[in-house]
Amino acid sequence: MTPATNAIGLPSTLVAWREDASVIGLVGLAHASSHFGHLILPLLFPVFMKEFGLSFSELGLLMTVFFVVSGVGQATSGFVVDRVGARPMLWAALAMFMLACLWASVATGYGSLFGVAVLAGAANATFHPVDFTILNQRVSAARLGYAFSAHGLTGNLGWAAAPVFFAGMGALLGWRQAYVAAAVMYGAVLLVMVVYRDQLQTRAAVRNPQAAPANAMAFMRLPVVWWCFGFFFMSTMTLAVVQVFAVSILKAMHGVSFESATLTLTAYMLCAALGVFVGGFVAARTANSDRVVAVALGCGAVLLALCGTGWLGATPTMVVLAVTGFAVGIGGPSRDMMIKKATPQGATGRVYGLVYSGLDSGFAVSPLVFGAFMDRGWYGATLLGAAAVLLLSVLAALRVGRQTAVTAA
């Protein structure tokens, strides 16, 4: 029997696994591309310092600009995704990343790099509203847990691929040609998305021309939406501490080599990816998504705080920090299920856009807050502070679950 479909042919019942897997794979490739784009500037910071005589403060501002533009754009692009559908926005985002890489390849100074940061931030802004609109509309409900797991996993793989790509291409061709190669890569991904465009088709939200414009903003009056935003803001502040400062903290607190500290950060990301994979099975089998998130992130906060005490010594601290990534990763797919349950019908793009702008806000604010700790030599306190913020995100997750249950009742 052919599965029932809606007006534009989207499956309303369980479809063949191959169809769902194709959609999940395409969205995963797009998500990996967006995470790859997070690192197109910071990986070349040493080169920019040498080529253009820039300081760490100037370079750090580039990433703040990237995430501010991305955060503001993400909060607003969800409205556009709901109105025109996800597919055109995905194509535009990949094209902008391609142009950003080409611009970086001909950069002549700080002004050029600032422009690249703005353009790349705007490109990054659309991915979460686009990705989750496609997944929620195209993937069978019974397989969404696996879809969210794959989504998180591919994001981590995008982060992991960028250093290898730029190191390899930079050594082989030079840093400018490495950016050209990255632009070609984005062009290839865009081509794949165009070729398989039928599998990325989504419904645009139906608009009543006589309805008040304020109705489109009604979701912003829901407390659960802002609890979701707060959850992302706080949990991402902790992730930013690990990504930006973990290497320096390990070197300062335990005297480990730069190579060992960097390897620990790589291990954290790989363990997080493994945790996301395992978390997909947990999310598919567990109804209380908020509790899974709370337990996973609560364990991560305890492990991170243990690292911050300095009691463990060098090697155990590096091992525990890597395991922290696994604990936090397990909660990833359940986190996305938690947001789905809290999203009003017909507002997927808008809600995901606003909620995931909390992620960009966390990335933008955290280096400023905890950078002050680092400047004062409070290395252990930086990890303890990050653990405390992660515990606050646990409270926010439980609040989301409570609000969602009340609304459903």
Shared-domain flag, residues 147 and 243: no
Same domain, 232 and 97: no
Closest CA to 151 of 16, 335, 287, 353: 335
**pTM summary value:** 0.72
For residues 91 and 239, membership in a common domain is answered with no
251 and 352, same structural domain? yes
Instruction: Please give the average per-residue pLDDT across 64-76, as a whole number.
Output: 84
Q: Angle at Cα 405 formed by Cα 399 and Cα 407, nearest 5°?
A: 105
Q: In which domain, by residue range, is 28 found?
A: 17-200
Residue 190 lies in a domain: yes
Distance CA 325, CA 161 (A): 18
Residues 186 and 274 in one domain: no
Residue 1 belongs to some domain of the structure: no
The verdict on residue 124 lying in a domain is: yes
Convert the pLDDT of each residue in 328-349 to its tens digit. 999 888 887 887 777 766 666 6
11 in a structural domain: no
Claim to verify: residue 223 and residue 293 sit in the same structural domain: yes
325 and 284 in a common domain: yes
The CATH number assigned to the domain holding 311 equals 1.20.1250.20
Cα-flanking dihedrals φ and ψ of residue 5, to 5°? Answer: -130, 160
Work out the end-to-end distance of the chain between its first and last CA atoms, rounded to an integer number of angstroms.
34
- Asked whether residue 211 is domain-assigned, the answer is no
The number of distinct structural domains making up the chain is 2
Q: How does residue 257 score in pLDDT terms, banded at 50, 70 and 90?
A: confident
User: What count of residues does the chain have?
Assistant: 409
Spell out a b/e string for 34-48, using b for 16 or more CB atoms within 10 Å of the CB, else e.
Answer: bbbbbbbbbbbbeeb
Find all residues with CB under 8 Å of 159, minimum gap 6, and list them. 35, 36, 38, 39, 269
Tell me, what's the pLDDT at 99?
Answer: 97
pLDDT for residue 2 is more than 50 = no
Residues 320 and 393 grouped into a single domain: yes
Which pLDDT value is given to residue 8? 41
CA distances for 297 relative to 240, 286, 290, 325, 382, angstroms: 15, 16, 11, 10, 17
Which tokens in the block code for residue 40? 């197109």
The residue type at 282: V
Q: Same domain for 126 and 264? A: no
pLDDT digits (tens, 9 = 90+) for 269-324: 889 888 988 888 888 788 788 889 899 999 999 999 999 998 998 899 999 999 99
Q: Are residues 388 and 259 in the same domain?
A: yes
Residue 253 lies in a domain: yes
Residues 170, 172, 174, 177: is their CA dihedral positive or negative? negative
- 67 — pLDDT class (breaks 50, 70, 90): confident
DSSP string, 143-164: GHHHHHHHHHHHHHHHHHHHHH
What DSSP element (H or E) covers 223?
helix 223-254
The reply to whether 179 and 236 lie within a common domain is no
Lowest-confidence segment of 178-182, 206-210, 362-366, 367-371 by average pLDDT: 206-210
Is the CA virtual torsion 333, 339, 344, 349 positive or negative? negative
Q: Write down the mean pLDDT value for the chain.
A: 82
186 with 239, same domain: the answer is no
Whether residue 7 is contained in a domain is answered as: no
* Greatest alpha-carbon span in the chain: 67
